[in-house]
Amino acid sequence: MARISTYGIDSTPSVDDKLIGTDSETGQTKNYSMGTVRTIVTSTINVPGQDEINSYIHEQNSPSAVWTINHNLTKYPAVVLVDNDDDVIYGEVNYESNNTIVITLSAAISGKAFLN
């Protein structure tokens, strides 16, 4: 049997990726999508003050006037932008889908986008 360490690392996980687990009713080994697991976890866990499960931080390391963010939150999150000095900046936020946002700024800037 292969060890988990022998499998490749997925550096771009998505809600459609599969996890292996045991069905609690039958005891059988089955696979589950990460999206299904996330739905179960977010419906049963309450994080006081902040729901970190439904948050995403995008780091824009190279200056750009357009930031494309694939957050995979499956919703249209609120967005706060900051530059490298942690000053709030403003841009035009366009929701391409419930998993992708494109932010247009007036100049090429690097910084972070906080989504929740």
The confidence score (pLDDT) of residue 50 equals 47
- pLDDT score recorded for residue 48: 46
Burial of residue 67, with CB atoms counted within 10 A of its CB: 0-12 exposed, 13-18 middle, 19 or more buried = buried
pLDDT at site 49: 45
Which stretches of the chain drop beneath a pLDDT of 70?
Answer: 1-5, 41-53
pTM score, two decimals?
A: 0.56
The confidence score (pLDDT) of residue 43 equals: 57
**pLDDT at residue 38 in the model:** 73
d(C-alpha 86, C-alpha 111), whole Å: 8
In this prediction, residue 4 carries a pLDDT of: 64
How many CB atoms within 10 Å of residue 73?
A: 18
pLDDT of residue 42: 61
